[in-house]
Amino acid sequence: MQSMRVSMMDRCVTLGSRNLLSARRLAVDHLLRRGGVRPDMVGGHSYGELVALASAGAFDPGTLLEVSEARAEAILAATGDDPGAMAASPPPPTRSPTPG
């Protein structure tokens, strides 16, 4: 039977993916600002809130990476031996108009 323990790979993916998301989002922000696009406000959902704070200047990109790592560690610690799961349901089938 497969163990439900959080593997080292899970840890690397959880930690590394957040840093990649941070870098990508901050790069887009940087490019837009260099092009003269300045937001009146920024926002985000879940992890995006941290990137929005960095984009708004609440902390620098290095601090964002530190906060991201601490967040990922807290999530992994909370899961214990059960990493959980995510559920998804397909959208309802589309209806084609009936001729006539």
86 lies in a domain?
no
Distance CA 5, CA 37 (A): 45
Which residues, other chains included, contact 31 with Cβ-Cβ below 8 Å and sequence gap of 6+? none
Which residues constitute the domain of residue 24? 8-78
84 lies in a domain?
no
Q: What is the H or E stretch that residue 1 is in?
A: none
pLDDT at 99: 67
pLDDT at 98: 66
pLDDT tens over the chain, length 100 residues: 344 455 666 666 666 677 788 888 889 999 999 999 999 999 988 888 999 999 999 999 889 888 988 888 887 788 777 666 667 788 877 776 666 5
pLDDT at 56: 92
pLDDT at 21: 80
50 lies in a domain?
yes
Which residues, other chains included, contact 18 with Cβ-Cβ below 8 Å and sequence gap of 6+? 47, 68, 69, 71, 72
83 lies in a domain?
no
15, with CB counted inside 10 A (0-12, 13-18, 19+), is middle
56 lies in a domain?
yes
Specify the number of domains making up the chain: 1
47 lies in a domain?
yes
What's the whole-model pTM score?
Answer: 0.64
98 lies in a domain?
no
